[in-house]
Amino acid sequence: QVQLVESGGGSVQSGGSLRLSCSTSESISAYCMGWFRQAPGKEREEVATIETTGSTTYADSVKGRFTISRDNAKNTIFLQMNSLKREDTAMYYCAAALREWAWHPGFYCPPNYNFFGQGTHITVSA
């Protein structure tokens, strides 16, 4: 079971930037990785994902502002968050899912992530 540890959360003013990191206890080269967030009173939502190929997806609400990346050599992923808004305030969770394989399309990321970190909180103030 992969252990995920997030860091980099904190408080920032609207329009500011933060960079989250997520380090793991083992190699992430075979894992699909992602960032999720949960705001008070809301369900957890997917923010960004990155496949083992480096292909990325983003929630519409963060496109153009957030960038997810991975460094397999350091077993770490990142989330660069720019132009932060008050509605970005939430607990952010790193997530992982072991990639799967089928004849078509080959390696792919499963629809559900099954490993989550403890989270790091971000507060964006006006």
Give residue 25's pLDDT: 83
Mean of pLDDT values over 9-16: 97
Distance CA 79, CA 68 (A): 5
Tens digit of each residue's pLDDT (9 = 90 or more) over 59-84: 999 999 999 999 999 999 999 999 99
The pLDDT, as a whole number, for residue 61 is 97
Kindly state the percentage of the chain with pLDDT values over 70: 100
